[in-house]
Every structure is written in structure tokens, then in C-alpha cells.
Chains A and B, each alone.
Chain A
């Protein structure tokens, strides 16, 4: 792994639904989790160049880039960040896997007076998030499966690690933290899981979360990767089901904001 480069698989401009203002999202290769609903399955696994087969052509979809190279892309929309209070979001994959590179990139972006954000699952040793938090204005933190045994078995997650990372973010006064709960039927929406999330959110003294209803936008990618998409037949949540979950949190005195891709 080159020391001064990061492996990324996409830079997406004009993102307006995640985080403040108009943003550019830098997608990092690599993720220790294996969520079956993942909408960026090409990012899963180790930090290594990923290929897929699209329309009969095999393409390498991730590439090594220096901080300066990424800054060149980021700067293209600088005027939009300035007028909207937007900025740059690191996503993935799990951007904390390449935490050294992520921290350098965030530091450089923040030095330009541009808002910085990360989307993370916290599925890394505590030192990873600690490294980036000083340069991060906004943390979108996923809370998925809260039962440690289930989390380990289903998605390979270490709930203790997640909680430690989350609490480190909360303890950072310069970072704003929004917990986000993907609503995945059969996984995260089970009543006992929702209750555990509510209890934990209370425990750490938070009153607002974002809920992201399940979607299948990533399904095509599984075909490109020649992988089986196990969620193919999982129906989307009905508006009533989303309302019910919303109501559940309201009853727990937690404001749940429905967000995510539209």
C-alpha cells in the first residue's frame, strides 16, 4: 500500500442529501463489514484495486490517488461549497480503514475553510476515528445491529468497537454527530434491535437520529461483481411501516428524521 496515496473508487459531485450544503463525496475502497444490503458492494473487503464486469468489459474501478490529486477534483466545486456551506464527505466502504490518508485529506480540506464530513460505521479500532476527528466537522455515524452476537455473526461487526468510536466522536466538541439507522427489513427493524438503539441513544444523551429506509439502488452492482444479491426479493418498507418506526422513536422521545436517497 503506497504510504502517501489512498485507494478510492469514485468522486461524486453535487450531493445534496447527505450533510450540509452542496457536497462532493469521496468514496474509499475497503470495508471490514459484509452487510448483505450494502449499496456499494464493490467497496467491501481489503484495500485492494477492485474489478468488475460491466457490459462485457472488465474494468478496474478503484484507483490510487494522492491528496493533491483528490484536492484538484474537490476544488472544482469550491464555489458551490462556499455559497452553500457545503464541503467534502468521505464515504466508502469504510473510510476509516485508510485512516492515515483520510486524516491527511480531511486536514488539507479543512485548512481551506471547507466543511468536512465522514460517513462511518465505526467498525475499526478506536485509534482510527481518533485520528480523523480533529479534522472532521460532521460525523454521520451508522448504528446497525446492536446485539453483539448477532452483529458479529451477520455483518462481522464488533459492537464494542462501534460504541467506543461513537462515544469518541460525541466527546469531540468540534464535531457534530448524527447517528443514522438504516432500516433493513429482517435485520435492523426488528423491535428488539430498535429498542436497543433507542436505549443506547438515551444512554449517550442524544435525542435525534436519522432513519434511512431500505432501497435496492445497489442491486445492479452485484451483477457486475458476479455476486448474489440476497436482498433481491426483500420488499421495500411501506410508508406505514416507516411511519410506525418513526412513531416508535417518537414514543421513546427521540426525534427520527427520515432521510437518505430519494
Chain B
């Protein structure tokens, strides 16, 4: 049986004209539900492996899941591999943290953000079986026991927040090109030989267990497809498809893929195995248009109908929307609306330093225009060489208004990586992982989302410290902020290392590690430091508010001498209470310039502080010997992190949100249009934000109308490129549309909007985030 599809009998018989539409509808028919299946299987395996090394137990548990999880092939699907039978189920991993689930067990169905049904029977099972089993022996227990009083104090100060203490680490791009070029069989052979040569190395043993389970998992789908194909009630075309799927999945147990169809099947199955192994956010897809292109060409040359290629790729897109991540209520506030992180980077540079774009890059944008779902989260790598045709298509796609694709600037990202010791070839090959973090695909364990570091909160604490200082000066305030940054940076790196260690001890990921260079060579899991690049990324939060606040204090207190420092601090502590307080607040808002208006004096104050933060962080090495990298993004955490900060000298009330995104101006404070915004953002040395930064810009649909609109938008993006800003993303929805969608959600089920480093269904977001999106400045002329 051939799977090259050079002849496709199935394609010539009667079949639905809108396969993708059928699949898309099936995805959203049912309410989201929690599935205990993985947790139960994982636990059952763990009960059988007591006393064995953790990495072996993990591997066996993953294998056990793949051997026993219920599998399905849904109507019209061409690709196999559904994490759960019911679409968009939430998966629990109590081995990481059984407690948050218990705390939220009765509210998960009704909480404001990302609800899931949790059946009474399952809740009971959780309470009586899973919780008691994992209590006291989860990763969370390990981490909590290790947290030092210093780290705890910094968390209580609301300056730092450690992430990934309750779920898999994620934020990794596997070496998809390698597995597509070699096939699963080669990995089994290699690992078998390595294991024979190093019988004491548990990593090889563990990795082999999972790869062999992957082979069996493929065969389970092959058998299921064969069985379904025998169903005579199915139409002919479907039975032919199922027969082909059976043969293909069986073949892929060992063989390397030959066609685009096979490559996508192996790619998806690899991704699913990674999900079973770690249940983590952001096992991103890397540079799909680059590594899939040889397969795309091969299928074209073999005469595979373009419509079929389109459908298979469409099926792949839809599958990325099937996987949603169950987060705690707090985490769902920060990462609202299921940013699962199937992020893809299109275009960019090849190893010769030339712009890399091909027909598939274009097709992937075209397909997005048809499907328009939040995942895969497409991005385009832009640099000075980007061809206009591809840039125009990018602009046209952005104009749809869903915030996809976002843009990453090679002129910033490549030097950023070079500054961190990454080779030129590898730096040119970077891709996007998670929302806006960048990584070297297939070579990095980067803990890109390990901690948040609230710079605005530090300024607030610094002002409190100096309140009673009689002759305080501006320089003294600045210096005190810098000193505090140093203190907390030390603590946040220590805290990140504890979480890092927790994952090493509790959550090795041998399958995924085998697909990260140089783990197989080193015989080490990524969590043990086996990867080539070993970063940890800590996000500095609140730069725009810090810029505005510093400037206002400088002018109001130290230059204009309008009031004493102490009096200002007292007003802030009172949250601008009373008429005088409100008068001061209005004065602070309206009479002092703000970040986003291209005021060099103001912007540079913030730039200096960010530079200090990034360089200080860079002095530390993590437990894997890698560097700490600074980020400047909040995702949707600007709302919860704003709750942690009192009133600020930029006129912001206590507990109000911080500026959205990361580097975007505070909402409503920029009034000179988008060129001034870009200029302000460019003052902050984006190259230092190696881990990632985020800039939201909202355009009115009118601005982008017609060919002229596209031309000027593309010109604008070329200026963005030259200004060396790292990232930008756009919302192109009129205020009116969004307000109407908020009032009549029933009419806007499919409306996708940009939240932070990702897009989500507008109606899936809670009202606060919806309001925030509506408020973000709309640049219109």
C-alpha cells in the first residue's frame, strides 16, 4: 500500500466538500470537561513501580498511558492522535501538584476564567483516591520544602512569582527536523545501542521505554483505523481513507516519513507523546515552513492533489486547538483563554543568512485565513531582507483582526542570542516558544517562563523605604531602586533554581530530551542539564508604569518642588483619597509626559533601569550551568500583578492593572500615534530582552483599508524592523465590534482576538480582560 498519495482513489469518490468545517464544528460541540484518565493511568503505573528510579517510573507511566488511554479517530479526520476522546478536555497531573485542584475542585466549573465541567463522580474519585495518593509526594511538596525563607519573603513582598511549580515545564521545541529525517525506528536503534553500551544509564533505558511505547501507540491507531475501515456503513471514500491511515500509522512505527501527509502525522504524534509525558504548556512547533518544505515538495512532485495537502494541514491546525491546558484559577488569570502554545515561526533566516520563505510559508498563512482559530499561534520572523510579497501577505493576514501572525524581529533576536554565547547558525535558526519567548529549537531547555519579577512593585517598596529620609534626592531614589533590584534578582534566581531542581527530581522527560540536542550524546535528561543551551528566563514586569512614575516623581518633587517626597508617598498610600488626592492624580496623569510619546528623557530613565536589571540577572548561572535571561512581557498577568501594586506616581490607582503586554504604553496614556509608540519602545534596548518582550498595538480597521493601507502598514513594519524592536502584535477590531461582542457574545462565538502573546476567543475571556482589550489605544487617523 502506497502512502505517497500519487494516486488517491479516495479523492476521486464522493466526499464532503467541507471536511475542515465538519472537523471544526466537532471540536466545539461539547462543553469542556476535566478528564481524569491520564491521572488515573499515571497513578496506576506509579503504584507498580515503587522503588525504581524516578526517570524510569516516569517513562513507564508515560508508556502505560499510551498503551491504555482510550483512543479515537473522529469523523473526517486524516491524522491520528487525540489526547482525549472528548475534544478540548482538561488533563490533571496530580503528580505535580494535587493541592490546587483540591482547593478549586468545586469552583472549576464556575470560575470566571477557563471553566471546565468536573463530574460529581470524578470529583469524588479525586478526593478519595488521587489526592491521598499524591499528597506529600508531589513535585509541589518537594519545591515547598526547599523554598528558603528569603524566597518566601520575596514572594510575600509580591515582587517575585515562581511559575511551573504545579505542572510540566514546557516551553520547549523538540528537534522535529531530526525525527522527520530519521523516523522513530532510528531512535529505537540508537537508544538500544546506547543502552547496551551504558547499561547503568537510566536516561537511555527510560527514553527507550517511551519510544517503544510510541511505536505501540502508532500501531494502536493502525488497528483502530483498520477496524473502522471494515465498517460497511461508512461511505467508500472514508473507508479508503481509514485503510490508508492504518497502513501509514503502522509504517511510521519504524520508517521515516516520505510524504507531507506522513510527515504531519509523525509530527503530530511526536507532539502528542510529548503532551502525555509532561502535560505542559507550550511544546511549540518551531519553524514548520522550513522543516516540512522538503516533504511538501516531494508530495507536490508525486502529484498529490493540492486540495488534499490543504486538508491534511487543516486537520493539523485543528488538532492544535483540541489540546487545552487546565490551569489553576490564578494561572488562568495570567494566561487566560488557553494559550496552549502551539506556536509556529514562519520565514526568517536560513543558515546562509538569506531570507527563508517558500510556498509553504505562504500556504500556512492562507490556511490560517480560512480557519482562523487561536492555535496554531502563527508568527512571522521579519528582517530587513523580507520580500515585499511575503510581508504583504503577512499584513493582509493581520488585517483580519485576530492578532495572528505576530512579528519577531531577527535584527534583535539574532544578536540577542549571539550575546548569550549561541552560535551564529543556531541564532539564525531561533523560533518562538510559548507566547513571545524565543528559543533555539531542538537544542534548548530554556525555562522560559520560570518567574515573574515585578519592577513596579520594587519602585513602590523603594519609595516606602525612603519616605522618612529627610533630604532624599532623585539620584538616591534611583540608586535605591537599583540596589533593591540587585537584592531581589539574587533571590529570584535562587527561587528559580529550586523549581528547576524540582523538575529534575520529579519530572524528567526522557522522550522529549531525546529530541533535544545533545541529550542522547550526553546521556542526560534536559532537566539534568543534557541540552546544548540551558537558559532560565525571568520576566521584568511594569517597565512602562515605572517609566511614567519615575518621570512624574522627578518633575513633581525634585524639579518643580510642588510637594515633598513624603507627602507624595502619603498620598499614594492613601490611594489619592479625597478631593485633593484626586486633584493630584489628575495632575499626575495629564501634566507629566508619559512613555509612548517619544520623550527621550523619560524613556531613557526606564531604559537604564531595564538594562541594569537585565545585566544583573545575566550575572547568575542556573543549576544546569546556563545563563539567566531577562524578559519584558506580562502575557495577561498585567491584571493580577497590578493587583499586587498600590497607587503609583503615574496616577494609577492601587490595584489597577499595569500596562498591558510588557512594553506597551499604559492604556490611554499615549496620544501621538503609533510611530511615537514605537520610538518610545525602541529606547529600551530590546536586544537585552533575550527571553522575550511584548508590544501590543491596536489599529482601527480603516487604517489598513485597501492596497494603500497594506502598503503603508508594511512600510510601518519595516520601520519597526529598523528601530530594533523585538516583537509586535496587532489587534485590528473596532471598539464598536468588541463592545458589541461583549454585549452579545452569542453573535461572536468565533471572534478571535489578541490577548497577549497569543490569541483567544473573545467570548472565552472574562470581563476584566475583555475591558482591557477594548481600552487599549486604537490608533486611527
Contact = CB atoms under 8 A, between A and B. Distances in A.
Interface stretch (B235-243, B356-364, B715-723): B715-723
B719 A79 contact: yes
Given A79-B722, A83-B722, A16 B712 contact: yes
Contacts of B674: 14
A251 interface: no
A94 B774 CA distance: 38
A161 interface: no
A14 B712 CA distance: 10
What 7 A-B pairs have minimum CB-CB distances, sorted nearest first?
A84-B715, A14-B673, A83-B718, A83-B719, A80-B719, A262-B702, A14-B675
Given A22-B712, A22-B716, A84-B715, 13 more contacts: A13-B672, A15-B781, A16-B703, A22-B719, A76-B598, A76-B675, A77-B675, A79-B723, A80-B716, A82-B722, A83-B716, A83-B718, A262-B705
B422 interface: no
A84 B705 contact: no
A22 B781 contact: no
Most buried by B among A21, A22, A83, A85: A83
Interface in B659-696: 672-676, 679
B420 interface: no
Interface residues of B, number: 19
Contacts of B705: 262
Interface in B389-409: none
B contact patch SS: helix
B711 to A, nearest CB: 8
B779 interface: yes
Interface string B533-558: 00000000000000000000000000
28 contacts: A12-B673, A13-B672, A13-B673, A13-B675, A13-B676, A14-B673, A14-B674, A14-B675, A14-B676, A14-B779, A14-B781, A15-B781, A16-B712, A21-B712, A22-B675, A22-B712, A77-B675, A77-B679, A79-B719, A79-B722, A79-B723, A80-B716, A80-B719, A83-B716, A83-B718, A83-B719, A83-B722, A85-B715
B676 A84 contact: no
A237 to B, nearest CB: 18
A79 B672 CA distance: 16
Given A13-B673, A83-B718, A84-B719, A76 B679 contact: yes
A-side interface size class? 10 to 19
Contacts of A83: 715-716, 718-719, 722
A14 B702 CA distance: 14
Contacts of A152: none
B719 A16 contact: no
B705 to A, nearest CB: 7
A34 interface: no
A77 B672 CA distance: 11
B263 to A, nearest CB: 37
A190 interface: no
A14 B672 CA distance: 8
Interface in A11-26: 12-17, 21-22
Contacts of B779: 14
B425 to A, nearest CB: 29
Interface of B: 598, 672-676, 679, 702-703, 705, 712, 715-716, 718-719, 722-723, 779, 781
Contacts, number: 55
A12 B781 CA distance: 10
B412 to A, nearest CB: 15
A79 B705 CA distance: 23
Contact of A17 (B716, B719, B781): B781
Contacts of A84: 712, 715-716, 718-719
Contacts of B672: 13-14
B781 A80 contact: no
Given A21-B712, A22-B716, A80 B702 contact: no
A261 B716 CA distance: 19
Contacts of A82: 719, 722
Contact of B715 (A12, A17, A22): A22
Interface string A83-105: 11110000000000000000000
B676 A76 contact: yes
Contact of B781 (A16, A21, A77, A79): A16
Q: Which of A13, A86, A261 has the most CB of B within 10 A?
A: A13
A260 to B, nearest CB: 11
A242 B178 CA distance: 61
Task: Pick from A17, A21, A79 the residue with the most CB of B within 10 Å.
Answer: A79
A84 B711 CA distance: 8
A80 B715 contact: yes
Interface string A59-79: 000000000000000001101
Nearest to B713: A16
B677 to A, nearest CB: 9
A13 B598 CA distance: 11
A97 B703 CA distance: 32
Interface string A2-14: 0000000000111
Contacts of B715: 21-22, 80, 83-86
A22 B723 CA distance: 15
A178 to B, nearest CB: 14
Contacts of B702: 262
A14 B675 CA distance: 6
Nearest to A259: B708
A262 B708 CA distance: 13
Contacts of B712: 16, 21-22, 84
Nearest to B723: A79
A79 B721 CA distance: 10
Most chain-B CB neighbours within 10 Å: which of A13, A16, A22, A85? A16
Nearest to A11: B672
A262 B562 CA distance: 43
A245 B762 CA distance: 42
A22 B714 CA distance: 11
Contacts of B676: 13-14, 76-77
Contacts of A86: 715
